[in-house]
Amino acid sequence: MAFTADTTRETISALKRCINALQEENSELQGISKSSAKRPDKYLCSGRVIRWLVTLHDRVEDLVNEGDRRACLELEGDTTANLEELGGCLK
C-alpha cells in the first residue's frame, strides 16, 4: 500500500511540474502575441471618449459654435490685425 501512495505522490508531483512548465510557456506565448498586436491609436480612443462625454452634455456642433462665439468675443477688443489673421468671425 505504501508503494502505491509513493507512486501516486510522484505522479502528482510530475504532473504539477508539467502543468507549471506549460503555464509558463503559455504566458510567454501570450506576451509575444500581445506585444505584436496592433494597438489602437491613442487619439482615436481619446476622440471616442470626448465624443461620449459630449453626448452626455451637448452636441459637438453646439460646443464648436460656442467656442467660436467666445473666440469672436475675445477678438472684439483686439486689433484688426488679429481679425485679418483669423479671417474674421461670423456672427
**Per-residue pLDDT reduced to its tens digit, 29-86:** 887 655 555 666 777 777 777 777 767 777 778 878 888 999 998 888 765 555 566 6
- Residue 57: which of 68, 66, 44, 70 has the closest Cα? 66
For the chain, first and last CA: distance in Å?
A: 96
Instruction: Give the whole-angstrom CA distance, residue 82 versus residue 72.
Output: 11
The CA distance from 60 to 41, in Å, is: 21
Helix 60-76 to helix 42-57 angle (10° resolution) is 90
DSSP state of 37: S
The residue behind cell 500500500 is 1
pLDDT confidence tier of residue 1, bands split at 50, 70 and 90: very low
3-state secondary structure of 78: coil
Q: Residues 18-27: pLDDT tens digits? A: 999 999 998 8
Per-residue confidence at 2, pLDDT binned at 50, 70, 90?
low
